[in-house]
Amino acid sequence: MRIDIVTIFPTFFDALDISLLGKAKSTGLIDLGVHDLRDYTHDRHRTVDDTPYGGGAGMVMKPEPWGEALDELVADGSDPLVIFPSPAGEVFTQATARALADEQHLVFGCGRYEGIDQRVFDEAADRARVKLVSMGDYVLNGGEVAVMAMIEAIGRLIPGVVGNPESLVEESHENGLLEYPSYTKPAEWRGRAVPPVLLSGNHGAIAAWRREQQLERTRRVRPDLLAD
């Protein structure tokens, strides 16, 4: 998968060089390009923002640098999906991650300040598929953390990125439920014992216990998932 990111803070994405995604990059499963929005400016100060028309607090990201960045990244005929993180977008879920993991080319545009001039979204939508995606009902300072989270969730679903694909199957949100609690050795730690059923070797009983734990935890913590 090709992933391009446009940001005014390219070093944010240095963290993608470590762990599973770093390995996916080095083996070519993920081909990542990080682009500094300021490289598409032409003034001495490399300006990317200006005051909002109509007044109001804060600054708005100017359309010209975004236009040039997207001209470059959307013009290569690969039918990219352009994603702008935004608290005003559709909420990102595991289903979103699954759908995005099937794409060949994702372009992420990280907003800052009060956001990006609306005409950038409108113009991009004339030339490519565009999505506004929210990480949840709260406001971040910029889109970088949201894009990191999305790439981590999408990247681990790309075949080959996670060594054992079985480990993806029983996770929270894969079957509409939260995951059951996990334990490892030792069987007793600080007076706390591992539930005996997990030591029983009875696979049917273990599966039933895990399912019950998933239902109980989901009922208690996220009853909205069961309603869905």
Known binding-site residue numbers: 111, 135-140
Q: Which residues are annotated as a binding site for S-adenosyl-L-methionine?
A: 111, 135-140
CB 64 within 8 A of CB 36: no
* Selected binder of ligand SAM within 87, 156, 173, 194 (CB under 6 A): 87
One DSSP character per residue, 110-152 reads ---TT-B-HHHHHHHHHHSEEEEEESSSS--SSSHHHHHHHHH
C-alpha pair distances (Å), 116 with each of 69, 82, 132, 165, 221: 13, 14, 12, 38, 36
- Residue 153: CB minimum distance to ligand SAM, A: 13
Distances (CA, A) of 44 to 8, 39, 113: 16, 11, 20
By the rule CB under 6 A, 53 interacts with ligand SAM: no
Q: Which of these, 178, 23, 1, 228, lies nearest to 99 by C-alpha position?
A: 1
By CB under 6 A, residue 146 contacts ligand SAM: yes
* 22, 63, 67, 142: residue in contact with ligand SAM (rule CB under 6 A): 142
**57 or 169: whose CB is closer to ligand SAM?**
57
Give the nearer residue to ligand SAM in terms of CB position, either 150 or 177.
150
Instruction: Give me the residue whose beta carbon is nearest to ligand SAM.
Output: 111
110 binds ligand SAM (CB under 6 A): yes
> Looking at this protein, which amino acid is placed at residue 8?
I
Which one among 8, 24, 105, 112 touches ligand SAM, defined by CB under 6 A? 112
114 in contact with ligand SAM (CB under 6 A)? yes
What does the binding site for ligand SAM look like in residue numbers (CB under 6 A)?
85-88, 110-112, 114-115, 134-136, 138-143, 146
